Every structure is written in structure tokens, then in C-alpha cells.
Structure 1
Amino acid sequence: MHKHQLKILNKLLYRDEGRFSDLKDTALSSEHFTYHLSQLVDKGFVVKVGNLYQLTDKGKDFVGKLDEITLEEEKGPKVSVLIFVRKRTNGGSYEYLMSKRMKRPYLGKIGGITGKVRFGETFYEAAARELLEETGLKAGLKLCHVYHKVRKNRKGTPLQDSIFLIFLGESPEGELCLSKEAELLWIEKKDLFTRDDLFDDLKGKWKLTGNEKTMKIVEDVGSAEGF
């Protein structure tokens, strides 16, 4: 968004409404300022009521994400669900449904079923939707842990910043679907954690029993291996 449009939005952040003269940047001609104000109206960020201009709900949401000094949109962690589905084998042990990435980043790494939480969606809704979309399965879901994962390059610059809501899925139903983005594998628990192609956050961090009485919250900052 143009810097002059950002300045208009920032002025409206501190008032319920404003006249043209209240919002106008003295460094701009009236014609130039009118263009930028009209752009905000056309895009749905600002509405004109009589002779006054107000932020729309869309505009309020947008300016709430801006840094008040730089007027740049602040970047925050990505919020996702991470689902571990398990089932009993004939021998009584557990098999876990794992996803092997077929694209970058982290090509070839194995982990749980994951996907972003959509705007306005509950965590349980997101988990059920992602599980069905990615695997074709439905399962009983339980939110067990919260995991904040930050990965940095060798210079210390963050490359990944994600908050995962970790779910355990049990009693899966349905037929596994095929995907171009990932290969789905059922792996016995005894074989799972001995693999060298796991995401580093799977190595010893999660003990999903289904009987968790206390939600575990983990902050994990590390290097971006395999990114």
C-alpha cells in the first residue's frame, strides 16, 4: 500500500471520523490527496458518510496490524494445527500416520499432519478440516499441547516462526487419499523415533498418551536444519 494511504489510515486510527481537511497531508496537492483517499474508499478500507470519512471494519483490522512508527505491517507467527493420528495394530501396539514432505522447505522430512488455521476458524474446526483434506480421514481429536517453533539461519535471522496446536487423533475412519505434496505412511511407534528423517521437533518432545491432564506449552528456538 502507498505510504500516503497508510498515513491517512493512521490518522483515522486516532479518531472516529475525519473531514477531508483533517486528513489531508499538507505536502500533497488536493488532487493528489483525493486520489489516495479515493483508493482507500474503493478498496473498502474507508467509507464516506456525508462529509466525513471513517474506517471500515476491514480498515480497522488492517491498521491494527501496522507498526505505529514505521507504518509497516507487523509480521507475526503463523498459527497451525499439527495432528498425530494413531491406531491399534493386531498385535496391540500403535501405528502413527505420518506425512513425508515432497516439496521444499524441509523436502523429505517426516512429521504429523499439519496446516494453517483459517481466519475465523476454531482450532478443532481447523484440525478436522486439515485432517480430512490432507488424508481423507476423520478421527476423534483431542488438543494436547501448544508448541512455538522458531528456526533461524546461521546468521541468526528467523526463517520460520510458527505456533502449532498439537492434536491427537484416534479411531480414524475413511480411506487414505493420495497427495502430490506428501506421502502418507503408517509407522509403528517402536520404529518411528529411530528414523533419521524426522523433523527435529519430533525427537523426544511429544508423548501423546490421550490421557494428558495438563496441556504442555513448549517454546523451541533452534537452527533451520534442512530448510
Structure 2
Amino acid sequence: MVYENLRKFNKNDINDKSDHESLKEALKNAEKYKSLYIAQNDLNTSLEREIESSEVKIKAFKKNVKEQKSLIDKLNKEIEEQNKLLEEQRETISSLKSDIEDKNICIDNLKFQLSEKSEELKEIKTAEYFKQLSIDRRSKCLKNELEELENGDKKIGYDILKLTDIDEINSDVEELEFYNFEACVELLFSSSKIINDSETLYCQKWVLHFSEKMASYVI
């Protein structure tokens, strides 16, 4: 504005040198102010651009912060789910350990029962062995007794039994071992003998009964 007013001055209006110098100084100042104005305007424009750029950056930063927050929330949720799964796995492992301990206890019990059964089986086999040994010895004794009777080396008149009822032979049915009960109802005679078995440590007494058809014995 100052510059424009000064430009309208007429040279004829300048009467002396001092006025000319003043005008020149005023023009110089006007040019300076104009430069300052232009510089300030440029600075303002630059600042406005920087502000706009900053606003854009702030918006982008806010958006990024929002995305980061969403991502953090998502990660926190995944962490909670992983912790939950981890806890479930721990419970499963604990349950499996408990099941393994129970199974080990069952295995130990089964081993103990197997050991007991093995001992029982050994005892049964031992008992069967001695039983068979006793049967073999009784059979041998019976065979020898029969041979003595057949050869007439033994007298049989002193222990003849005159029984007609099988119940009168022996009241303990479990001790009777007749091959044919009907053939042994009426006994012709019998023979008895005591056997001392040193291996089985048993003292056995057996009675030999003879009928018309076959022989049987009572232990």
C-alpha cells in the first residue's frame, strides 16, 4: 500500500533533495516490507502445508495405532486361548499320569496274582505228581497182591466178608473206588494191607474185594 502511494507521486512535487532521499528511503522500506510479506506468506504457505502433512500423518498414525490396538487385542485373545488350551493339556497330562499310575497298580496286582497262580499251579502239579505216584504204587501193590492170591501164596480165609449191601462196606462213599458196584454187592472175600510210603509220607490202608466177576479196592 505504501509502495503504491509512493508510485503516484509526481516528480514536480519533489522540491528538494531531502524529499527525494526520503522518498527513496520509503521505497526501499516498501520493497523490504514487500519481501518480508512475500517471505511471511511463503512461510505461512509452507507452515500450512506442513500442518496439512502433519494432519495426514496424525490421521495415519491414529489409524496405525488403532490397527496396532486391534492387533494387540487379537494377540491377547489368542494368548488367552493358548493358555486355556495349555491348561486343558495339563489337565489331560495329569489325567493320563493318574491313569498310568492306576494301570501300573493293576499290572502289579496282576503280576502278584500271576505269581500266586504260578505257586498254586506248582502246588497242584506237585500234588498231582504225588497222587499219580501214589496211584502207581497202589496199582503195583494190588498187582502183587493179586499175583500172590492167584499163586496161592497167601491165605484168604481169615478175612472173608459176608456183606450184601454196598453201604455196609464203607460209610464214606468218597473212599470207595469200585469199578463195578453191581459186581461188588456180594463179596466173596477181601484182603487188606498197610502201605508206608516214605516219599509221599502217607500211611495208606487198602482193602481188596473180590467178587465173581472182578476185583475192586477201598483206600
Identify the TM-score tier after normalising by the shorter chain.
under 0.3
Which structure has the greater CA radius of gyration? 2
The alignment's TM-score, normalised by the length of structure 1, stands at 0.21
The alignment's TM-score, normalised by the length of structure 2, stands at 0.21
| Bigger fraction of residues in helix | 2
Indicate the structure whose relative CO is greater, using CA pairs within 8 Å and at least 6 residues apart. 1
